Chains A and B, each alone.
Chain A
Amino acid sequence: MSDTHSETDLAKAGATQDAEPFNPKAARPPPGLSVGPLAWMKQNLFATWLDTVITIICAVIIFMLARHLITWGIVDSVWDAANRRECMNKSPEGACWAGPRLWFHQFIYGLYNVDERWRVNIGFFVLVAWMVPLFLSRITVKLPTAIGLVMTYPLFASYLFYGGEKGIAWTIISALGIACFIWAMINALMEVFASKPLGKLLEDRFGMVTVKSRAIVFLALWAAATVVWSGVEFEVVRTVRWGGLFVTLVVAGIGITFALPSGIILALGRRSQLPLIRIVCVCFIEVFRSVPLITVLFMATTMVPLFLPEGVTFDKLLRAIIAVCLFAAAYMAEVVRGGLQSIPRGQYEAAAAMGLGYWRTTGLIIMPQALKLMIPNILSNFIGLFKDTTLVAIIGLFDLLGMVQAMSEATDWIGLVDEPYLFAAAVYFVGCFAMSRYARHLENKLSTEHR
């Protein structure tokens, strides 16, 4: 409005031939109730009489709910009590947060030996530290870090968490994880402070051929890690003692790490020209996608022992993990297939025209583009898997939900349901919501980059 005004003023001023110096008028105030919080409320809350009624009813309900929640959860709540009876005596109407507070460590670690819990913490911090470089934009060497993380972290972490005697082979293998971690950390530090990846730095300093210098330094690091690592031995913590959020993350983490490569293989197999391979992959994917996870878990607990040779037994956690892996692979295959389908035909044809064969077309042209497009879907798949791991509680593992269930059945806290379940719900919500927000953010970012 004000724009057109000043333009007409300008025209007039031009017409009167600079008789007067041009004085722009001050912009007129907006008409009443078109800006400001009151106008916003009129437009968005009280637009019609029906809106007004609905808004008032909703507001009253929200207010009453909030008041109830605050009095129950905060004002009248008990934070310090040894059992439920004590809670009831102190404040019969309030929440008994003392229960979840006392059980907090069990919710996180399960029955993991108290003196050994630091191992879980270390494993978690290593994981987080390893993942940080993947999210920093300054760091250029991301793919090797990611591959190292996915391939070697489980080797290191499985010994860290389980412990026990490790032979020479196992020492060398799990030390690989440590070496990769140290390498990734040094590399990240170099990139942040010296803005140069480690390999490049070595090349500049020593003038060796890049690949060779990296390999030599890495092997030296690995050897050193093996020597140090061979002197460390942890107490065995059997998987029956594992529990809480720790087990939830272990199951979901292994599930997704296994699902990604096997999902890619299955999806490629499903799109293959070779009929036998296609049929096998389609059958696998369709079977596991059409049955509920709980049936796969039951199958793993009841049928796997029948398939194994004598003397070989899998513990319950491992069986659950196998079931989750098979299930997640089938779902991931469909995500990958979706990504592959979104690559236009021209890409295949161009690759063929360049004389690339199947593997090079897939590996160099199609997969890099498809994987990038798939990242948001992979993340939402992971959210689903994270929620689905609660099902292991049904077959008797004590994941976060299983632990919460155990608490509300424990003698001291029997019948205490709302508080521990609310705690678990909050943990799941924070995890899933954060991931879904991140997935959405990535989707926006990637889609703008693509245009």
Chain B
Amino acid sequence: MNTPVSAGNTAHGPERSRLSRMASDPKIRGLVAQAIVGILIVLAGYYLVTQTIYNMEKRGLTAGFDFLSTTAGFSIGFFLIDYEPTDTFGRVFLVGVVNTLFVSIIAIIFATIFGFIMGVARLSHNWLIARIAAVYVEVIRNTPLLLQIFVWYLGVFTLLPPPKQSFELVFGVFVLNNRGFYSTAPVTGELFWITGIAIIAGLALTVMFRRSAKAQQEATGEAPKWAWKALLVLVAAPLAVFVLTGAPLSWEIPTLKGFNYQGGWAVPPPFLALLIALTAYTSAFIAEIVRAGIQSVGKGQTEAALSLGLPRRRVLKLVVIPQAMRAIIPPLISQYLNIVKNSSLAVAIAYPDLVGLWMQTSLNQAGRAIEIVATTMLFYMTVSLSISALLNIYNKRVQLQER
């Protein structure tokens, strides 16, 4: 590559100066461009830093993370890890992170289930069901999430009856009123850990059974029946252990005491509104992903499998779903990421998530704008980067399977 260019240059030698030759060299051009960008970034950074320091000094603001260990002094409406107003700002951050992850994970579970149902329903042979699913998807996808959150919160959950006239669902196992949703909670006894171990052992054994059954099928072509074994180790054995250890589990039922329900698990109305809105919104997107994924499997695949004599159920299980999943999982995971990000809209209805607790309340109390904004963004970036790392691992595995 280089020789003909230099030969050309020597031919034009006297006409082209050294400078113009350098100017047309892509390497030097690249270096110059990078140098210019680098200098601009350094200048901009220098300006921002000095200006910010100047402005902060002027306003008497201090910087640093020492505020993390000072007392926060405000109370929080809903927390999963213990919190008192005397706790530190560092604790507030943790409460916010846990609250954000809690609502996100539950929304991810529900949205996945509901999204798959809706996606399959859109492809239903029943015209009415397909239409209903299509209308659902279009209406939900084409209205802003924040608006939906407001509608659920203001239009549904704040209009529920007060505690005295609560809805008691499933014979009082669940209670719903304008203070929130209450669920009966299991209280584990002292010896419950033995049952826990039994369940884990059962799971491990089931995985082993499945593996050996598969290996046997691949070796001999005969599929051994292992469902009864799994049932034994997964249900019967833990149950026996549970009874033998004296059934160390009791139920705490929410009961009306004074003005409100006490006992069991409780979540406030903003949580419910956020959860339902996030679930509905994301499930509409997941439904589209699922539909596209199923449609991406060629019709020939189904026909070929049927002509091999596979029953319809196994065609779905062995041919269509594995191929559809390859198209479904990457966008599905980015929807999970969207749930985590969208859960930040909680701030609009005062569910104490990370943004509400940290970027709003704590920022107003402690005033450390830069530190607080940076830590919040760092949290979301950590989540996002770890999810995309997962996605990359999955993509690599799928690619390997292709060849």
Contacts and interface: CB of A to CB of B under 8 A. Distances in A.
Interface of A: 44-45, 47, 51, 54-55, 58-59, 62, 273-277, 280, 286-287, 289-292, 294-295, 298-299, 302-303, 305-310, 358, 383, 387-388, 390-391, 393-394, 401, 405, 408, 417-418, 421, 424-425, 428-429, 432-433, 436
Which of B41, B138, B146, B376: most chain A CB closer than 10 A? Answer: B146
Given A290-B384, A390-B144, A432-B142, 7 more contacts: A292-B380, A294-B347, A302-B373, A307-B52, A418-B155, A428-B147, A433-B138
B359 A298 contact: yes
Given A59-B128, A295-B380, A428-B144, A417 B33 contact: no
Contacts of A58: 128-129, 132
B232 interface: no
B215 interface: no
B52 A306 contact: yes
Classify the secondary structure of B's interface with A: helix
Given A51-B126, A280-B41, A306-B370, A390 B146 contact: yes
Interface string B32-43: 011001100100
A194 B132 CA distance: 49
Given A44-B125, A303-B369, A425-B151, A294 B355 contact: yes
A424 B41 CA distance: 43
Nearest to A277: B37
B336 to A, nearest CB: 13
A112 B52 CA distance: 35
Contacts of A394: 146, 345, 347-348
Given A299-B373, A387-B144, A421-B155, A405 B125 contact: no
Nearest to B383: A290
B143 A387 contact: yes
Given A280-B41, A287-B377, A306 B56 contact: yes
A307 B56 CA distance: 10
A276 B377 CA distance: 23
A274 B33 contact: yes
Contacts, number: 153
B142 A433 contact: yes
Contacts of A59: 128
Nearest to A56: B128
A289 B38 CA distance: 23
A393 B146 contact: yes
Given A277-B37, A307-B48, A428-B143, A295 B344 contact: yes
A295 B143 contact: no
17 contacts: A45-B127, A45-B128, A47-B125, A54-B129, A55-B128, A55-B129, A274-B34, A292-B342, A292-B355, A295-B373, A308-B55, A393-B146, A393-B348, A394-B347, A394-B348, A408-B154, A429-B143
A276 B37 contact: yes
B144 A401 contact: yes
B363 interface: yes
A421 B150 contact: yes
A447 to B, nearest CB: 15
Nearest to B35: A276
A295 B359 contact: yes
B281 to A, nearest CB: 10
B240 interface: no
